[in-house]
Amino acid sequence: MKSLINKVLATTTLMSVGGAIFTINPVSAANIGYDLKFFNNLGSQVGSGGFSYNPDTSTCIPDSPVDDFCEFGGFFVNTELTDFSANISGTEWQLNDRNGQFWWDEDLSTVQGLFAPGGNLSVNPQWLFGDPVFDAIFLDMIALEQTGRSWRQQLSFNNVLEGTWTAELRDTTSPGGHVIPEPLTILGAGVAIGFGAFFKRKLQ
């Protein structure tokens, strides 16, 4: 009888642990990220980078320069950039270099930006970093139906590079791209093992 109970306890413990393992749920990351690659007109890669956004946030894209909350018109997006980085032929660009308000269009897989040319706000399929007006140093990323995804980096009038870019969705499930068990699932498996050992000692 004692041997039968031991077998039942062992089987129950294994089933509990097995069930916990097979019901592991991934811990989803808050940010969604994309990897960027920059190619010159000959098709050679000359740069790389990336950007990300938090889909749990909502940001106003106003119609008026004095309206921060879309009270007088505008719309909200859940894909405004939270970070950006690019290195093209040794030149670094960061989110703080941006000129305007940027977000990613998930439906079209393309860039979108809010600019203020001449005091009026305008939404364009474009990300612009730097100051092309006064410094003439900038990185311009455009995504048009006619010309596709193109970029232009100008460091001086004699130092201009251009080409195409791609954006590939990054695996943000975990730092290593692996599924991470939820803490409560691990705790449940530990409790099952503990109960099995406890009852076994009681029967001895």
**Domain definitions of the chain by residue range:** 2-25+181-203, 32-169
pLDDT at 193: 44
Instruction: Say what the pTM is.
Output: 0.70
Angle at 44 between CA 158 and CA 135, to 5 degrees: 30
- Burial class of 15 by CB neighbour count within 10 A (0 to 12, 13 to 18, 19+): exposed
Residue ranges in the chain whose pLDDT is less than 70? 1-29, 172-204
| Separation of alpha carbons 124 and 199, rounded Å | 68
Q: Which of 76, 82, 77, 96 is nearest to 53 (CA)?
A: 82
User: Which pLDDT score is estimated for 178?
Assistant: 40
Q: What is the pLDDT of residues 175-184, one digit of tens each?
A: 444 434 444 4
pLDDT at 198: 45
What does the alpha-carbon distance between residue 141 and residue 164 come to, in Å, rounded to a whole number? Answer: 9
As a whole number of angstroms, the distance between CA 43 and CA 39 comes to 5
